Structure formats: C-alpha cells, structure tokens
Structure 1
C-alpha cells in the first residue's frame, strides 16, 4: 500500500519513514504538535531545551559519576523547573505535546522522557527510551551498571533491580517478563506509542479530524499493516471523508476476520448511501 502523505515539511518524521534511527525525538514531537497547532514555532521550545543544557553544563563540571550527573538533570527539571507528572496529563491531548508540557509543567511519561532525553543530550549524556508496560521510562546504559529514570516522578533514578520492582508492582508482571522491556526502544517504537496515545485521546473526545491526522501518520509508518489501514478507514468515515473511507475499508475486506467483515460491511453500506446522496 502506498503512503497517502509525504510529510516533506517534517524533516525528522520523514527519517522514520526511511527507517533511519538518527532521529531527534524532540523535533518529531514538535512536528506532531504542529498538526494540532499549525502556527507553532519550534524555536521557543528548542531554545528552552538549549537553555537548560547551558544551565546544567556549569553544574556538570563538578559532578562525578553517572548517578550524580543523572540526579543533577532530575534536580534541574524536576525541582528547579517543577516538571512533574500529574493526573491532568492523562485527561488532555496537551499532555502529549512538548511545547504545552513545558508551558504547563506536566505531561505524559513518554513526553517528559523525550524532554529529559533532549536536555541530557545537551550535556553529552545519552538516555534511551524504555517502553515498559503502562509506564514509559528512560535508561542510561553507558556506565558500569544501567540506571533508569522516571521523569513522571520528578526524575527519580533507579537501579535495574529497583526499576524491576517498581514495574512489577504496577503491572503484576514477573521480573523475567519485564526484563525484555528494559532494552532501549527504537525511535519508531517511541513515536508509534506517542501516536497511539493521541489516537486514543482524540477518539475519546470524538475529535475525528484530529484523530484522522494522527491515524494517517500511523498508517504512513506501517502502510502494509492491516490494523492501521482499517483504523484509518474507520476514522476517515467518522471525519466525513466518505470516499477515502470507502476505498480503505473495501481494501480491508479480504484480510478481515468473519466478525470484522460484518463490522466493515456496516461502514461500507453507510458510506455507499452517503456517496449515493451526493450523486
């Protein structure tokens, strides 16, 4: 299946379409944010990140050891600039957009992790996304022992064992089930998770036009994926893009289970009636 949008203006998102890994996730987030805020200027957000880097550069000169350096980053962002998790972040799409997270001082774990990662990079510290179940974290893998950071908790730094205990309590998963999740997440996986969060929130709000833009990006990342194509067709139908919905859903019928074929047929019948009214 071909992609429906080229995203020529989205330099970093376009790298994901090429399956590149040299992706600036902070800029990708801003590119996604521009779908919701078309007038968004990236400069202010990127300048804020740069300022935090300069702030930390002085402190890092007197920091010995990985743990101390990570704690300095946490102190800068979590305490001095009061970036912490909040239940509100799960109730609004703005918790997924980097510029709004900086403005509001709270956001989803995955977006706060992207922010921590971007600031850490300014002072030469590599942090990796950790796509754990139910809670996104960061990992620092360059030292003798891995360390994990929870930006949602104000930047709490954990050992591997402490991280497994924390996640096990949240998920009821055994340590051996959780260990594979502690590996660094690929940029594509981070962005897909972020887009799925947005997709769920916009669907809950029944904001189908915004949901269509999100689902279109998911489809562009994996155009051969049946579920992405099906969901794009359903969202297109709800967004009033009837012709596009009909073509997408029609192309899904051959791959759909019998149960799903019934659901898709219902959407197709409605779409055909709407199209007939326009002719």
Structure 2
C-alpha cells in the first residue's frame, strides 16, 4: 500500500516540474483527457498549498511531435515550431485546469503570442513565482532542434529552482524499458556521467549536460501515483535521483 504523503514542511522552496504532453492524453492516445488534466492540476495544487514556488514545463507530443514529422520528410525546423505551438495549447489547458481549482497561474511563451500568453522574460517569471503563482513555460526554448527536456533544464536554472522533477509513466530510471522487459532493473541513484555513458532514457543529452554543469538534481518518478509530487517535495525518496555524488537529499 502506498503511504500517504508527508504533511511536514516542504524541503524545497522552488521547483520545476517537467511533464510530457503524452501525460495529458490518457487512454485515447492523442489530445487532452479532461479527467487526466484535472488529476495533474490537483497534484500541482497540493504542492502549491505547501508554499512551494512551482514552475512547469510541458511537452506537446500528444498533439504534434516535431522529430516524428521531420522523419517523414517535413522540414525539421518547421516541424519543431509546430511542436512548440502544441506545447502552448497544452499549457493553456493546464492553466485552465489550475485556475478552476483556485490556483493563480501564468503561461509564459518563448514565442510571442500576446493574446494567449505572456512573453517569456526571466525576471517576470521569477516575480510571478515569488507571488505564489504557478508559472507554465510554453514553446520550449523558442528555437528548433531543442527538446522540451532541454527547455525544462534551462528554465529551471534561469529561475533558480532547487530541483527538476521529471514526471513519467514509470517509477524511475531503468537499465532498459520496463514496459517491454520484465527483468529491467531500476536505479535508485545515478550521477550525470552514468546517465550519459549508458545512454539511459532520463532526458536528452543536452538537458543532462546542462544539469551537470550547474549541479541541478533531477528526480525521475511515477506521476500516475496520487500524491507523488507532494511526497518528493516533502523529502521522501522516490524513483531515481540523478545528482552529483556529494549531493545530499533533504529527507523528510
């Protein structure tokens, strides 16, 4: 039985959560499932209620995936820009879900879309976080050829997050795909070089390198288990920690 989330004081003041676009699609295999959207919004609200300043980066793979389209002949830059616009759609949907629950939220887009989102300005993002608003970073980095994993690492460092939370469909990092291999082994802890040298599927290599250069810890965990985001910010050890060897996890 999964333990209840710790209601002790949060161990982090500011976090960035990376969500995949596929997290929103549910069983349909595409688009946005309203029930899943509300569940994710509730999980984020629980963290905000603890007083944690929360930023979110969300992908767009449930609507459009640039790499896949480019593999079928589309110009890679054009495909990536379409993918960025898909992340804006997801960000607006998540904003709506959060605000229906009474959580003040701002969407900041790396591509200017002033009718639906604020332009990304680092100092503005930081001020929103200081005021207790959830900030959703949309449109990736605003540049083609960079993934939303890289955008998450970059934005987390720009706004001074203490940890990057990578929410996935599995409960950590494995030596091979646990959905395909019953003998897959989960790692409790890794350093950045181990992730890169073993080509483990945590985040893309650019994102891992950015985190390594700035000593930003990454926690990879199962987002489908209710309360897991809250457990992580309260110091419970879940999933896989990717961090320097000297890093001490602030246990709850």
TM over 0.5: no
> TM-score normalised to the size of structure 2?
0.29
Q: Report which structure shows greater RCO (CA 8 Å, sep ≥6).
A: 2
Which structure carries more strand by proportion?
A: 2
